[in-house]
Amino acid sequence: MKSRLKCAKKEEGRKEMIYRPIVLDKEIQYSSKKFIVSKTDKEGNILFVNENFCEISGYTEKELMGVPHNVLRHPDMPKAIFYMMWKSLLAGMEISAIVKNLAKSGEYYWVIADFSMQRDTYGKIETLTSFKRIAPSFVSETIETLYQEMIVAEKRSGIEGSLVCLERFLEEREMSYNDFLEDLVEPKGMLNLLIQNFKKVLS
């Protein structure tokens, strides 16, 4: 009887699964004025999304709460990029990335994502916030070629091979990963001020 009750409680607290959509080769276009915000726990489970997140991804807030953020992961994204992101964040370092997301419809959309962490009163990482904006076409086109090469390396040699591919790409340009992204996507002027102020409000 006790085991039945335990099973019932587990079923009651279990989040309904979101099924992966069929991937379509169609891009979602959205305004550069729309900022996408989400917050997760340190395991990557979604705690908060803003209205733009729902509108562009196609998921409702109810569908997303408690679900792993990788529900949006597009198969064209190298696993090594997420490995690097999580390693940096859990080490207490903020990081940015250019990400191709998979919408509920199966369509895709590119974002420039800035990640930061929030700590509890003891200084331990408690939540992670992602602040995203649209990636201009020249940015997504530049990064897409790199990601394709990383995925080929990943299929052949795993995440380690993918990271070697990225390292070689950066060495050829004599840049660090952060320098490469900053050179590619760093906002200028009033847009930069707007983004920084928006981040302060959300932190």
Q: What domains lie within the chain, and their CATH numbers?
A: 20-136+188-202 (3.30.450.20)
Taking the C-alpha atoms of residue 159 and residue 177, their distance in angstroms, rounded to an integer, is 16
| Alpha-helix residue ranges (DSSP H) falling in the chain | 2-13, 51-57, 61-64, 79-90, 137-173, 177-185, 189-202
- Residue 96 pLDDT exceeds 50: yes
At residue 1, the pLDDT reads 44
pTM score, two decimals?
A: 0.83
Owner of token pair 């009033």 = 190
- Place 203 in a pLDDT band, splitting at 50, 70 and 90: low
Taking the C-alpha atoms of residue 183 and residue 176, their distance in angstroms, rounded to an integer, is 11
At residue 167, the pLDDT reads 95
Q: By mean pLDDT, which of 40-44, 119-123, 179-183 is the weakest? A: 179-183
At residue 186, the pLDDT reads 67
SS3 167: helix
Over residues 159-183, the mean pLDDT reads 92
Closest by CA to 127, choosing from 137, 136, 118, is 118
What does residue 103 show for φ and ψ, rounded to 5 degrees?
Answer: -80, 165
SS3 91: coil
Taking the C-alpha atoms of residue 106 and residue 24, their distance in angstroms, rounded to an integer, is 5
- Place 16 in a pLDDT band, splitting at 50, 70 and 90: low
Over residues 17-22, the mean pLDDT reads 81
Q: Which DSSP letter does residue 60 get?
A: -
Taking the C-alpha atoms of residue 83 and residue 197, their distance in angstroms, rounded to an integer, is 29
175 forms beta bridges with none
Report CA 76 to chain centroid distance, whole Å.
13
Taking the C-alpha atoms of residue 72 and residue 100, their distance in angstroms, rounded to an integer, is 9
Over residues 134-144, the mean pLDDT reads 90
